[in-house]
Chains A and B, each alone.
Chain A
Amino acid sequence: MTPLFLTSDRWYDIRDLGNLSRALLDAADKILPGGVVYVLAALIGFVASFLLFVLPSQLIIGVYGERRIIGRMQSRLGPNRVGPFGLLQPIADAIKLIQKEALTPTQADRVVMYIAPIIFVMPAVLLWAVIPFGENMVIADIPVSLMYFLAVSALPVIATFMAGWSSNNKYSLFGAMRIVSMAISYESPLVLALLGAVVMSGTISLSGMVAWADEYTIWMVFVQPLALVIYFICVSAELNRTPVDIAEAESEIVAGYLTEYSGMKWGLFYGMDIGYALAASGFAATVFLGGWTFFGLEEWVPGWLIFIAKTHLFYFLFIWTRGTLPRLRADQLMAFAWKFLLPLGVFNLLIVSTERMLWAEQDYAKGLIYVFALVNIVLSVGLVYAWARFNGYRPERTPTRPRLVKQAGGYIPVGERP
């Protein structure tokens, strides 16, 4: 029975912690009957992935990093009280949230309200199973990992709906309705954008995409810039981060579906939000930024270090938009998804499939991909601008400065407008 873990001889293969878990499992296998060691391996895998990916990712990077960077954007310091440079702030938050009482409103649907955070947390850990960190450091290298990502990212929508519906509060109902309708309308452009990347690289498995990026030494983002833009907008809609956070729009519906949540239940939602954002940026780094390869640099620098750097580069985009952009209205969002993103995705798919046909005739010459990259970048910019103009986007019509009476020659009577 070959052990479950594929360990490479590279010194930095962190996944196996120096073959510790393998030795442990081999020993356990001799003692325990039958295949119980499978269960043990699964248990260790789950706990390891939770500790390795989810816990540090949103605690240290998410809660602390995000609040600090946004603080700096708003010309204030951000957390620096707890621990050295405020690094223990996430832990302080967690402890504060744990000892806070988790209320349940009287008329609320008690069971569903209790289950909702659990179902919200579970996919956050599952998402990390398919993302390749290094050479062969991927927990579950299934051939359909891209679709697996889409499938698992449909679960938190159900969880947020359950939270919103069960807390029996008008604002929560608003939040629940909004998130459900928005997630649906942003699912189709997301699939179209990823389809563009799949058609170009020919595989729907993430490690296949990384291999493609390594083989043709070009990142998918240069070949498919439009796909990345659409992906970013759709994912920030799925995770409802600003500028698309209408589900828990603080200024409009108090805290949306999270209004009635308090204590660690709210903490789970808040923490896992950041976990999803990291998982989504990890996914984007793998598909669009070439995963753990960096044009050959991965021989010296460990692969997973490159991957984590790219993930946080992409995650910074989420923080940046959260810090600066205002929020769109719900109906504007729907119109934007159906009338702007979807047709753009279809055009993009059209372009990519013709390119793939041409590329296939030249039996996948390496040089041709760079030509396609240039063509695509120019084409994408042109496509977006043309499509925006077609949809009536006239920026010069909205003057950003008011008229001044003296310059406009004295008193301007009522009703006379430019």
Chain B
Amino acid sequence: MDGFGVSLAFWVLAAITLVAAGGVMVSRNLLHAVLFLILTFVGVAGFFVLLSADFIAMAQVIIYVGAIAVLVLFAVLLTPRASRDNGETRWALPGVLLSVCLAAIFLFVIHDTAWKTRDGVPQGLSASDLGTALLTTWVVPFEIASVLLTAALVGAIMLTRSPEEEAEDALA
């Protein structure tokens, strides 16, 4: 994982991801913001490939680009008369200032500490290792996550049921 190709890929991906994230912030039309968001997700997936976490990269693309981005698109479509101009609230300026300070702190910490890193690529990062880890050492959180997903599923359906559907079920 060394040589010219990797650093070239890193700088290209960094540029794409950060520009797309900026696009989400800046673009006037909400739908353009969503499309920039999708581009960011793809960029982050590219980073995962660079960090040799290919299962996570594929999972990221399937879950984020395939499902969550489409969920956001649906939300935008189902709220036709809401303002779609991606405008700012009154708290925009303080929010941006806060995040700039936070960024400063993060960057200082990153570049100040001497990270003790390994040199080669660690073994045991393949999909099968992830599978065994998930089902042996991490099996309890794995089950809790599935319960959480079902709860979210039921919750989302309950929230968006229209009165007619509830009336129908009351009769049934």
How far apart are A173's CB and chain B's nearest CB, in angstroms? 9
Q: Which residues of A sit under 8 angstroms from B126, Cβ to Cβ?
A: 143
B5 within 8 Å of A (CB atoms):
yes
B:65-104 near A, CB below 8 Å: 65-67, 69-70, 73-74, 77
Chain B residue numbers with a CB within 8 Å of A171 are none
Report whether A35 and B5 are in contact in the complex, using a CB–CB cutoff of 8 Å. yes
Could you tell me if A154 and B73 are in contact, using CB atoms closer than 8 angstroms? no
Residues of B within 8 A of A150 (CB): 58, 62, 66
Q: Is A222 an interface residue, CB under 8 A from the partner?
A: no
B3 within 8 A of A: yes
CB <8 Å contact, A155 and B31: no
Instruction: State A204–B45 Cα separation when bound (angstroms).
Output: 19
Chain B residues contacting A143 (CB-CB under 8 Å) are: 54, 126-127
Contact A184 B5, beta carbon cutoff 8 Å: no
The dominant DSSP class at the B interface is helix
The answer to whether B25 has its CB under 8 Å from any CB of chain A is no
Cβ contact of A151, chosen from B31, B32, B66, B74, cutoff 8 A:
B66
Say whether A147 contacts B65, CB under 8 Å.
Answer: no
Q: Is the CB of B4 within 8 A of A34?
A: yes
B10 within 8 A of A: no
Q: Which residues of B contact A161 (CB under 8 A)?
A: 70, 73
Query: Smallest CB-CB separation from A1: which chain B residue?
Result: B3
Give chain A nearest CB distance to B105 CB in angstroms. 35
Within 8 A of A (CB), among B34-62: 35, 38, 45, 54-55, 57-59, 61-62
- Residue numbers in B under 8 Å from A181 (CB-CB): 74
A180/B73 in contact, CB under 8 A: yes
> In the complex the two chains form, what is the Cα distance from A49 to B126 in whole Å?
27
The one of A144, A155, A180, A204 in contact with B65, judged by C-beta atoms closer than 8 angstroms, is: A155
Question: In residues 121-153 of chain A, which contact B (Cβ within 8 Å)?
Answer: 142-144, 147-148, 150-152
Q: Is the CB of B55 within 8 A of A184?
A: no
Q: Output the least CB separation between B34 and chain A (Å).
A: 10
Which residue, of B3, B8, B32, B58, has the highest number of chain A Cβ atoms within 10 A?
B58
- What residues on B are CB-neighbors of A204 within 8 Å? 127
Is A158's CB under 8 angstroms from B5's CB? no
Q: Judging by beta carbons under 8 Å apart, are A142 and B54 in contact?
A: yes
Shortest distance between the CB of A179 and any CB in chain B (Å): 10
The CA-CA distance from A142 to B57 in the complex, in Å, is 12
Decide: A158 and B62 in contact? CB cutoff 8 A.
no
Q: Would you give the shortest CB distance from A188 to chain B, in whole angstroms?
A: 10
Contact B38 A158 (CB under 8 A): yes
| Closest residue of B by beta carbon distance from A115 | B35
Give the residues in chain A near B70, CB-CB below 8 Å. 157-158, 161, 180, 183-184
Known: A35-B3, A35-B4, A161-B73. A154 touches B127 (CB 8 A): no
One digit per residue, 1 when the CB lies within 8 angstroms of any chain B CB and 0 when it does not, for chain A 174-213 equals 0001001101100100000000000000001000000000
Closest B residue by C-beta to A202: B128
Name the CB-closest residue of A to B60. Answer: A151
Cα distance A227–B72 when bound, in Å?
Answer: 31
21 pairs, CB–CB < 8 Å, chain A vs chain B: A34-B4, A35-B5, A36-B4, A109-B29, A109-B31, A111-B32, A112-B31, A112-B35, A142-B54, A147-B55, A148-B58, A151-B61, A152-B61, A158-B38, A158-B69, A161-B70, A161-B73, A177-B77, A180-B70, A181-B74, A187-B67
